[in-house]
Amino acid sequence: MLIDVVFIIACSAGLIGALVIAAIGARFSRSPWVLACGGAFSGIALGTATYVTCGWVRHGFNPFQAWVLPVSLTVLMLVMAAQDWFVFYADRKDAVQSVQPTVVVLATTLLCWLIAHALGGHSLFFPVIWAGAGSLAILLCIPPIQRSIEANCSIGLGTLIGACKIVLPMTGIILLIPLGISKQSVPANRPGGLGNFLSLCRDIGLLLPMMLINGARVPPSAPALDPLEYLLQAKDGGPVGGSMPRLKRDSVVLVLVLAIHVLCGVMIVKD
């Protein structure tokens, strides 16, 4: 009996969530196909998350089911991006910039694995390598977040979406973006089986960027204050330190980050 009640609660949550997301999405998108698919996927995600959460309440936390919540949130984020609730990737350049921190982390992991395999164990260079990689990854996170704040005209929403833009590639979902960014088409005279397989891979790769690279679909709004300009704004509305060019300000941030990591490196060497 309790299983039936939990199932009914999950179905009700999924149905209500699907209707709400489709109704709100109608303000941003006029495509019935996008609204219908978005409502269906969001309903399934919300219903599954509700069912798992109710199961945790009744039987206790099950760590093997913890993957359901981030997957459900990712599905909801993809649905809202497809319905143009906000600007996720402004353009292809923004998508490439958002993937760069993940590339740095993967390259560093591969380098450390090769060094450990060559030396047969742990190396003293690992903390230095990871400190440098962390510095580079932090610096590469600044442009995507800045572009997200500018595109969404909101410091809070832009920072949140910018963080999602950086975290999403680390989940492996964005691996198909290079296929979507590429404009090369499969030749028509390619052999049937291989040509059909490559065409299918390209279509799947195009689907995800088509949903996420939505800067051109979202109508522009009034520009927002830069985060540092907002924090340094005086009570009379003017900046505290005068107008500083963005390139100069970013250079100051770069020097600050490098100084912090040099200090950390000195502490590692002393230890």
pLDDT value at position 239? Answer: 46
Average pLDDT over residues 12-38: 86
Q: How confident is the model at residue 252 (pLDDT cuts 50, 70, 90)?
A: low
* 167 and 120, same domain (yes or no): yes
Average pLDDT over residues 24-48: 86
Name the residue range of residue 161's domain.
Answer: 92-219
- Whether residue 204 is predicted with pLDDT greater than 60 in this model: the reply is yes
When divided into structural domains, the chain yields a total of 2
Residue ending a domain, among 219, 237, 265, is: 219
What is the rounded average pLDDT for all residues in the chain? Answer: 76
Asked whether residue 159 is assigned to any structural domain, the reply reads yes
* 206 and 114, same domain (yes or no): yes
| Calculated CA dihedral for residues 92, 97, 101, 102, nearest 10 degrees | 10
* 129 and 31, same domain (yes or no): no
- Whether residue 209 is predicted with pLDDT greater than 60 in this model: the reply is yes
* 103 and 186, same domain (yes or no): yes
Asked whether residue 106 is assigned to any structural domain, the reply reads yes
- Whether residue 174 is predicted with pLDDT greater than 60 in this model: the reply is no
pLDDT value at position 96? Answer: 87
Asked whether residue 271 is assigned to any structural domain, the reply reads no
Q: Which of 8-22, 121-135, 249-263 has the lowest mean pLDDT?
A: 249-263
Specify the higher pLDDT residue, 109 or 268: 109
Specify the higher pLDDT residue, 58 or 226: 58
Q: How confident is the model at residue 185 (pLDDT cuts 50, 70, 90)?
A: very low
* 147 and 167, same domain (yes or no): yes
Residue ending a domain, among 203, 219, 235, is: 219
pLDDT digits (tens, 9 = 90+) for 112-133: 888 888 877 666 777 778 888 8
Asked whether residue 139 is assigned to any structural domain, the reply reads yes
pLDDT digits (tens, 9 = 90+) for 57-86: 888 888 888 888 888 888 888 888 888 888
